[in-house]
């Protein structure tokens, strides 16, 4: 078994309702981890995963045959041997953590100082934008507010080399007015890039809308 080729999923450009930006919008299918549905108690530990964030869909890693979230599967698929990216992380906007592709959620990733400065610059750009739209967040959550789920790269030293993937599963909506977090974070990232000279464009950002090919449970 192989990981899906994320960048080969069918995609089309889509105009966002705000900020006059256009990003590629891809669609793909993953396999669901065949779990016993325990209703609201399904976040009990199972098969090595210690938290499902309260009924977050759990998917099957086709290579390791273990449960993962979509963000972890996307990261693994992009950074597996022979794939285009060599490093990155999941920006866990729920818990405000940088996570790797590991199954257990106490595994984290440490970005290089240069990559951390990139995120800090985006946050500095985002702060006044949130204020203008009467959105408040603590400094700890600033990088999380609307942050795109997966941040990865091929060359860790080349700050122009970056790919952001926003994961949208069944029922997930891409935030639009009045709470357009993802477009605002995209705008902040591109403004920070223009100021810092990273050279990012809308081509560095991609939305992946995915579905599951099986709802069977064991």
- What average pLDDT does range 167-194 have in this prediction? 82
**Reported confidence tier of residue 40, pLDDT bands at 50, 70, 90:** very low
Angle (CA) 69-102-216 rounded to 5° is: 35
Domain ranges of the chain: 6-212
* More confident call, 133 vs 177: 133
Amino acid 216: pLDDT: 44
DSSP H/E element including 112: none
- What is d(CA 76, CA 150) in angstroms, rounded to the nearest whole number? 10
Confidence of residue 43 (pLDDT cuts 50, 70, 90): very low
Cβ contact 70:52 at 8 Å: no
User: How much is the pLDDT for 42?
Assistant: 43
What average pLDDT does range 3-9 have in this prediction? Answer: 93
Closest of 201, 188, 196 to residue 122, by C-alpha: 188
pLDDT, position 217: 42
Predicted confidence (pLDDT) per residue in 70-125, tens digit: 999 999 999 999 999 999 999 887 777 777 766 555 567 788 899 989 988 998 89
Question: What does the pLDDT average to over 168-191?
Answer: 79
This prediction has a pTM of 0.84
Q: Which conformational region is residue 88 in: left (phi greater than 0), alpha (psi within -120 to 50 degrees), or beta? A: left
Instruction: Give the rounded percent of residues in the chain with a pLDDT score beyond 90.
Output: 44
């Amino acid at each position: 078994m192989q990981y899906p080729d994320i960048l080969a999923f069918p995609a089309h450009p889509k105009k966002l309702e705000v900020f006059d930006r256009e990003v590629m919008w891809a669609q793909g299918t993953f396999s669901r981890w065949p779990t016993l549905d325990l209703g609201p108690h399904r976040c009990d530990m199972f098969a090595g995963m210690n938290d499902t964030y309260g009924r977050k869909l759990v998917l099957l890693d086709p290579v390791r045959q273990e449960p993962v979230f979509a963000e972890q599967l996307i990261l693994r698929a992009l950074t597996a041997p022979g794939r285009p990216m060599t490093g990155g992380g999941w920006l866990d906007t729920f818990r405000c953590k940088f996570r790797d592709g590991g199954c257990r959620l106490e595994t984290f990733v440490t970005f290089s100082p240069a990559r951390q400065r990139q995120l800090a610059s985006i946050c500095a750009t985002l702060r006044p934008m949130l204020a203008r739209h009467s959105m408040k967040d603590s400094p700890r959550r600033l990088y999380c507010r609307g942050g795109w789920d997966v941040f990865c790269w091929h060359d860790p030293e080349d700050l122009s080399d970056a790919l952001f993937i926003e994961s949208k599963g069944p029922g997930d909506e891409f935030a639009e007015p009045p709470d357009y977090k993802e477009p605002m974070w995209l705008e902040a990232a591109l403004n920070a890039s223009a100021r810092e000279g990273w050279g990012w464009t809308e081509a560095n950002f991609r939305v992946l809308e995915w579905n599951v090919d099986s709802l069977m449970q064991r």
